[in-house]
Amino acid sequence: MTPETPASDDDVPGGDPAGDTATSDTATRTNHRTPLRKAWAFVRNTWRGLTSMRTALILLFLLAFAALPGALLPQRNLNENNVNEYISEHGWWGRLLDDLGFFDVYSSVWFSAIYLLLMVSIIGCLVPRTRDYLRGMRAKPVLTPRNLARMPHHERTTTGDDVESVMAATRSRLRGWRLVEREEAGGARSISAERGYLRETGNLLFHFGLLGLVIAFAGGALVKYEGQVIVLADGSEFCNSGIYNFDSFYPGIWVDGTELNELCVRVNDFHAEFEAGQPVAYEAGIDYQSGEDLVNGTWQPYDLAVNSPLRTAGDRLYLLGHGFAPTFTVTFPDGESRTHTIQWRPTDQTTLLSEGATKFEEPGITDPVERRQSQLAVTGLFAPTPAMHGNILSSAGPQLTNPTAAVDIMRGDLGVDSGRGQSIFEIDQSMVDEGRLERVARENLEVGDSVTLDDGTRVSFDGVERFVSLQVSHDPTQNWVLGFSILMFAGLGASLFIKRRRLWVRATPDGERRTVVEVGGLARTDQAGYGEEFTRIAADLLGRK
Amino acid sequence: MPINETLSQYSDWSYTTSVVIYILAMVFYMVEQSFGKRGKAVAERTRNRQLVTAGAGTDDTATQDADTATRDADTAGPRPPRSRAERFGRMGVALTVLALLLHGAALVLRGVATNRAPWGNMYEYVMITCFVAVVAWLWLLRKHPVRHLSTFVLLPNVILMFIGGTWLYSEAAPLQPALQSYWLIIHVAAAAGASGVFLIPGVASILYLIKARNESRPEKFASFASKLPAKEVLDRIAYRTTVFAFPVFTFGVLCGAVWAEAAWGRFWGWDPKETVAFIAWVIYAAYLHSRATAGWRGNRAAVINILGFAATVFNLFFVNLVTTGLHSYAGVG
Ligand code: HEM
């Protein structure tokens, strides 16, 4: 798992740094041993195979490859509707993909298997390397090779200084290097120096950081949760006392929804700021209660904005989006009236053209048959700034300039008693198909407009409220993930930019008052750039300027 | 803060002019590459040096310093008079620098016109990515005698800028609220910087494969490959640039995660852009590892690097334009 393995720890320049040939020869040697030993050999070989660099590489590829479908196919964790649509459009193929987990790639068995194996592989790689590393901490730089001329970097000169002063100069020039000085035959002396040990430190840090990151991330998948909810920005309140208060809820594996960290929010208002028709700021004025405040009943104010979540008592509250909730009033022939303000769903995030269905029941009707003939729904499109394409309403922008609704008024059986769940944004299309829900009017309404139906019922469009969509997120592991990421990043930097390099200096007396000085250098890892440093040092040591 | 239309207009002109000059520079480089003895000479020199050291040391050392050696050979000794082709090459560099200045001016003018970091939509993103690619290449030229290869770097660059300036173009505009964060500056700059630098190892790795193919079957790419530098030089360029860009990319993704935590309610959610960023990261990590694994160096490493760049490009185009995710800020369509 690392660009440099301990196997390269020898004196051969550029020794082969890959240590993954061990598997095959042990396998042949253990053939005629006892079954127990065979089993052990098998385990050991499997382990070696798994922790070899080549396996790690292949696992890395598999991981990249296995992640790909998640970018190409719709995913449940992102959009359940798209998944269902895809499956129904693709028949058996869609169902097969579903059975194989292709719509939940990141929680699928195969994806998990790959990253778990990769983690095992990393651990298998880290254990021996950490051991070698700790040992290497105290190791002395290796002996000076007899023939320095064979090193990739080599220079030599003859000076009038004696051996001792050459050694002294070397020691002071190589401050910061790990040094060993040795006596050699014939009065010669040499210094072996090594530097860049932090590279290996960085490398280990990187891999440990990565490991920790994955573990913390996996831990998060167990204990975190996220819930989304739409709240009208008219002083409405929301408390996450139970998961049913959310419109959608994504629990971690261990979260059953009974012990949510309580948080209450009151959304007072919502502002959107525009410049030349472009939105430049969204902000919701809220009050909230968390922790102690829930007991005291005090509310804290906060301006919730995009990119500026509320962080409180282990929870985060986000402003994810906003939209409009048109208000319709239905006045029945007997003079009774009902007013509903229900959010409509933005179909276009940039223009906030929205669609929805506001549903009504005539009050005072108890007979179930009659009820199922008199239910009403106001459905259609809503545009904050209308733009008509022929007769079709669209929206020119998200600003609330002249709110207009293009509505179909449906009467009959909404199907709310069918037992099937209903979306608040839609009517049940099957009721229309069966002829049990009929369109009785189609109109474009501006605020203040109304339509009167054949039976005298009047539907009026009274105005709009804004709603905000909020998210409550809870993830106690995320700071760990951040910590490990930083560790990983720091390690990465050290392991890529620090060079492990060696330098040797030998001073050999050469007759009267003359000393031959030789300098040799070898970069243990990538050689790039060592040449320049070496040349500089050699120039200093050999007295060339 | 209203948009300054005049400056934004200047920015557009500057951008277009820079593309034209890049194309002109390419012509000059092409002259050098095709008619110059230089390409051949460089290839020759690296080969010689390699033979010499291969005799003395073991395989790796020769390759490791092949490029430094050529540089030495380049500067040492009396220079032969500059050939006409070489002069073309030098003019190519001068033109590239000029185009780069205009390119930079286009960026700065956009920034001033909109009063924000000029990388808030796909057009601007492509603009800064290409800018970084050219800067990185010029930087590399200072140390490596590969000027005659500039065409191969400028070609994808010009294509990207052309696509950026036409299909992806968007008018200077303020940032939408989701992008108003200082993380935009950090995250996108890091992502664009890394992607820009990644273009170079991508190109170098393709050339590497061509050269390697030619070495194993000399009749393949015979005339083209003879003008490429030694495989090892290309490998070295790819490695050095990748090693630089990879941490930057890592940083960009980490910053993206931190931003996502503040903007979208979670630091990681397998949004398409996040997923492909993850994939690209894993591929580049595999590249770094492959260079230290017996049997995976050389051709395989080059292929992995190309895959990494493919993932980066895929992330830019496919994920922005085809899928819908939280990263749909492209400002296109
Ligand atoms: C884990 C979270 C994130 C990851 C992994 C991520 C990754 C990336 C990558 C790899 C790129 C450049 C790739 C390309 O287009 O070629 C990119 C670009 C960009 N990112 Fe992110 N990002 C994250 C979060 C965010 C957030 C939270 C925002 C803003 C709310 C954001 C806004 C942008 C923008 C504006 C660009 C440049 C334009 C574009 O390509 O669409 N990113 N991101």
The whole-number average pLDDT for the span A3-19 is 35
Q: Nearest residue on chain B to A317, judged by CA atoms? A: B265
Distance (Å, whole) CA A151 – CA A145 = 9
Does A345 share its domain with A280?
no
Q: What is the ipTM of this complex?
A: 0.83
- pLDDT at residue number A31: 52
Buried b (16+ CB within 10 A) or exposed e, B174-204: bbbbbbbbebbebbbbbbbbbbbbbbbbbbb
B residues 85-144 lying closer than 8 A (beta carbon) to A: none
B146 CB under 6 A from ligand 1? no
The whole-number average pLDDT for the span A274-297 is 85
Tell if the CB–CB gap between A281 and B177 is shorter than 8 Å.
yes
The whole-number average pLDDT for the span A333-354 is 89
Distance (Å, whole) CA A241 – CA A260 = 7
Q: Check if B173 contacts A (Cβ < 8 Å).
A: yes
Which of the four pLDDT bands, split at 50, 70 and 90, describes residue A51?
A: confident
Q: Nearest residue on chain A to B66, judged by CA atoms? A: A528
Tell if the CB–CB gap between B289 and A308 is shorter than 8 Å.
no
Whether A3 maps to a domain, the answer reads no
* Chosen domain end from A135, A153, A177: A135
Q: Please name the residue whose Cα sits nearest to atom 24 of ligand 1.
A: B256
B179 CB under 6 A from ligand 1? yes
Q: Please name the residue whose Cα sits nearest to atom 6 of ligand 1.
A: B256
Whether A208 maps to a domain, the answer reads no
Q: Give the ranges where B76-121 is alpha helix by DSSP (H).
A: 84-114
Distance (Å, whole) CA A419 – CA B282 = 48
Q: Please name the residue whose Cα sits nearest to atom 12 of ligand 1.
A: B191
Tell if the CB–CB gap between B293 and A20 is shorter than 8 Å.
yes
Does A351 share its domain with A459?
yes
**Nearest CA-CA partner of A196 in A225, A226, A224, A176:** A176
Kind of pairing, strands A225-232 and A337-341? unpaired
- pLDDT at residue number B79: 53
Whether A11 maps to a domain, the answer reads no
Tell if the CB–CB gap between B289 and A3 is shorter than 8 Å.
yes
The percent of residues in chain A predicted with pLDDT above 90, rounded, is 37
Whether A18 maps to a domain, the answer reads no
The domain of A60 spans 37-135
Tell if the CB–CB gap between B294 and A18 is shorter than 8 Å.
yes
Q: Nearest residue on chain A to B237, judged by CA atoms? A: A528
- pLDDT at residue number A32: 61
A168 phi, psi to nearest 5 deg: -65, -45
Per-residue pLDDT at B128 exceeds 90: yes
Does A460 share its domain with A485?
no
Assess contact for A54 and A42: CB atoms under 8 A: no
Residue B102 vs residue A426, higher pLDDT: B102
CA distance A292 to chain B (A): 24
Does A70 share its domain with A154?
no
Long-range contacts of B179-183 (CB under 8 A, 24+ apart): B179/B120, B179/B329, B180/A280, B180/A281, B180/A306, B180/A307, B181/A307, B181/B259, B181/B262, B181/B263, B183/A307, B183/B255, B183/B258, B183/B259, B183/B262, B183/B263
- State which of B110, B270, B273, B317 you would mutate to test the pocket of ligand 1, scoring each by most atoms of that ligand within 8 A of its C-beta: B273
Whether A223 maps to a domain, the answer reads yes
Q: Please give the structure tokens belonging to residue A143.
A: 């002996």
Q: Please give the structure tokens belonging to residue B23.
A: 């194309």
Tell if the CB–CB gap between B266 and A71 is shorter than 8 Å.
no
- pLDDT at residue number B55: 35
The whole-number average pLDDT for the span A26-45 is 70
Which of the four pLDDT bands, split at 50, 70 and 90, describes residue A14?
A: very low
- pLDDT at residue number B82: 65
CA distance B60 to chain A (A): 6
Condensed to tens digits (0 to 9), the pLDDT of residues A174-233 reads: 988 999 999 888 888 999 999 888 988 999 999 999 999 999 999 998 999 999 999 999
Whether A111 maps to a domain, the answer reads yes
Q: Which of B244, B281, B293 has the highest number of chain A CBs within 10 A, making it the mutation to test binding with A?
A: B293
Per-residue pLDDT at B69 exceeds 80: no
Which of the four pLDDT bands, split at 50, 70 and 90, describes residue A335?
A: confident
Does A246 share its domain with A381?
no
Distance (Å, whole) CA B333 – CA B331 = 7
* DSSP annotation string for B153-184: HHHHHHHHHHHHHTTT-----PPPGGG-SHHI
The whole-number average pLDDT for the span B145-160 is 93
Q: In chain A, what residues touch B278 (CB-CB under 8 Å)?
A: 64, 67
Per-residue pLDDT at A17 exceeds 60: no
Condensed to tens digits (0 to 9), the pLDDT of residues B200-252 reads: 999 999 999 999 999 888 888 877 888 888 888 999 999 999 999 999 999 99
- H or E element: which one contains B50? helix B38-56
Return the axis-axis angle of helices B84-114 and B122-141, rounded to nearest 10°: 140
Q: What is the pTM of this model?
A: 0.84
B312 CB under 6 A from ligand 1? yes
What single DSSP character describes residue B148? G
Condensed to tens digits (0 to 9), the pLDDT of residues B279-326 reads: 999 999 999 999 888 788 889 999 999 999 999 999 998 887 877 667
Q: Which residue has the tokens 């320095």?
A: A148
Does A387 share its domain with A456?
yes
Buried b (16+ CB within 10 A) or exposed e, B83-119: eebbebbebbbebbebbbebbbbbbebbbbbbebbbb
Q: Could you tell me the distance, in angstroms and rounded to a whole number, from the CA of residue B167 to the centre of ligand 1?
A: 20
Does A337 share its domain with A413?
yes
B271 CB under 6 A from ligand 1? no
Q: In chain A, what residues touch B272 (CB-CB under 8 Å)?
A: 70-71
- pLDDT at residue number B81: 56
User: How many CA atoms does the CB half-sphere of A310 hold within 13 Å?
Assistant: 25
- pLDDT at residue number A3: 41
- pLDDT at residue number A464: 94
* DSSP annotation string for A237-271: EEE-SSGGGSSEEEE-TT--SSSPPPEEEEEEEEE
The whole-number average pLDDT for the span A156-176 is 88
Provide the domain count of chain A.
Answer: 4
Condensed to tens digits (0 to 9), the pLDDT of residues A459-483 reads: 999 999 999 999 999 999 999 999 9
Q: Which of B261, B281, B288, B304 has the highest number of chain A CBs within 10 A, making it the mutation to test binding with A?
A: B261
In chain A, what is the straight-line distance between the N-terminal and C-terminal CA atoms, in Å? Answer: 43
Kind of pairing, strands A236-239 and A515-523? unpaired
- pLDDT at residue number A1: 40
The whole-number average pLDDT for the span A12-31 is 39
Does A395 share its domain with A333?
yes
Q: Which residue has the tokens 């208000």?
A: A327
**DSSP E strand boundaries for A308-374:** 310-312, 315-331, 337-341, 345-346, 354-360
Q: Check if B317 contacts A (Cβ < 8 Å).
A: no
Which of the four pLDDT bands, split at 50, 70 and 90, describes residue B193?
A: very high
Per-residue pLDDT at A23 exceeds 70: no
Tell if the CB–CB gap between B180 and A471 is shorter than 8 Å.
no
Per-residue pLDDT at B9 exceeds 60: yes
Supply the CATH number for residue A159's domain. 3.30.310.80
- pLDDT at residue number B38: 47
The whole-number average pLDDT for the span A64-88 is 87
Task: Give the ligand 1 atom nearest the CA of B269.
Answer: 1
Tell if the CB–CB gap between B257 and A485 is shorter than 8 Å.
yes
The percent of residues in chain B predicted with pLDDT above 90, rounded, is 53
Does A391 share its domain with A444?
yes
Which of the four pLDDT bands, split at 50, 70 and 90, describes residue B57?
A: very low
Whether A171 maps to a domain, the answer reads yes
Does A373 share its domain with A461?
yes
Condensed to tens digits (0 to 9), the pLDDT of residues A414-446 reads: 888 777 777 888 888 888 898 888 999 999 999
Whether A27 maps to a domain, the answer reads no
Does A431 share its domain with A478?
no
Q: Please name the residue whose Cα sits nearest to atom 3 of ligand 1.
A: B256
- pLDDT at residue number A142: 84
Assess contact for A302 and A287: CB atoms under 8 A: yes
Does A125 share its domain with A237?
no
Per-residue pLDDT at B263 exceeds 70: yes
Distance (Å, whole) CA A52 – CA A238 = 54
- pLDDT at residue number B34: 79
